[in-house]
Amino acid sequence: MKRKKDFNNPTEKYEKATFAGGCFWCIQPAFVVMPGVIQVTAGYAGGKEKNPGYEEVASGATGHREAVQIVYNHSVINYKDLLDFFWKNIDPTDDGGQFVDRGKQYASAIFYHSEEQRKLAVDSKNKLEKSRKFDRPIVTEIVPYTSFYLAEGYHQDYYNKNPLKYKLYRIGSGRDDFLRKMWGNKNG
């Protein structure tokens, strides 16, 4: 869980964004490096069960997805930029999960916190569809944010705590190969 600044600073405007993009181990470090991002937390979103644990979510029974919640300084980075970066870190055409992680609990989604975020997310998705970057339809869901539950401590900043295991997982997942093929670089 990356924390850069004091949230109590009244001169800065902080907002939240919540995204599901497959395994949160891979999505969390992608956003951590962005200027204006204050905190990126791994957790669970989209289901009805309160306070789910990893085993429950991984079973697919809770309706939750692995997700990240991002606190960002709106005066440094805007939601549209976060959306653009999100699309470049997932396969938005896969409704069965992401890469080697299969099941609804790994499917991509944008959880909007306001009507403005919903509109920007829909516009962003439409723009991506019209670009014809992908041969298949964009299936990432855009759904209202309801709640976010922190993942267990060992999942937070996994890429820093277990760098070798993380690197092997990331390479083996196929995510990096896909991102290079589609965008010409590795974002995460």
Q: Which of 112, 114, 110 is nearest to 85 (CA)?
A: 110
Tokens of 33: 């490096």
| CB proximity list for 43: less than 8 A, separation 6 or greater | 24, 66, 67, 68, 69, 148, 149, 150, 151
**The one catalytic residue among 2, 16, 18, 23:** 23
C-alpha 70/C-alpha 39 separation (Å) is: 6
Q: Count Cα neighbours of 129 within 13 Å in the Cβ-side half-sphere.
A: 10
Q: How many CA atoms lie within 13 A of 4 on its CB side?
A: 16
Whether the CB-CB separation of 121 and 142 falls below 8 Å is answered with yes
What tokens appear for 6 in the block? 């004091």
- Judge whether 23 counts as a catalytic residue: yes
83 three-state secondary structure: helix
Active-site residue numbers? 23
